């Protein structure tokens, strides 16, 4: 049995990560167990830059996503389920009153 910290990270879950993640989360993203991640760090072979903060390791999410081959956030032409479309969002940049009524 594998000692992973849960199932591998999904695409949507990866795009919802904070600015930096702990080593367990990064290991999940790469589909490796945390022990292997620690070994790779100590060998200088972890797939992306790692910050050491005291006794803990943090991985900047931007580097993690880049190492996973995710360089840009996806842009959808249509709203996703449960998301309001542009017509439902208030637009405060344009005046809605016509000049003829003034």
Question: What is the span of the domain harbouring residue 26?
Answer: 1-73
Output the pLDDT for position 4.
54
Cβ atoms < 10 Å from Cβ of 11: 10
In a domain, 96, yes or no: no
CB contact at 8 A, 36 and 47: no
Mean pLDDT of each 10-residue bin along the chain, 102 residues long = 64 80 94 96 96 95 90 63 56 49 48
In a domain, 94, yes or no: no
For the CA atoms of 37, 43, 49, 55, the dihedral, rounded to the nearest 10 degrees, stands at 70
**DSSP, res 79:** P
In a domain, 10, yes or no: yes
The answer to whether the pTM exceeds 0.75 is: no
Round to whole Å and give the CA distance between 95 and 3.
58
Output the pLDDT for position 102.
47
């Amino acid at each position: 049995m594998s000692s992973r910290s849960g199932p591998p990270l999904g695409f949507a879950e990866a795009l919802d990560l904070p600015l930096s993640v702990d080593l367990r989360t990064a290991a999940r993203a790469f589909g490796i167990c945390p022990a292997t991640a620690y070994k790779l760090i100590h060998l200088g072979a972890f797939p992306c830059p790692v910050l050491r903060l005291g006794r803990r390791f943090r991985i900047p999410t931007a580097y993690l996503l880049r190492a996973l081959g995710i360089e840009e956030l996806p842009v959808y032409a249509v709203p996703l389920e449960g998301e309001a479309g542009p017509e439902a969002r208030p637009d405060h940049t344009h005046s809605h009153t016509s000049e003829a009524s003034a």
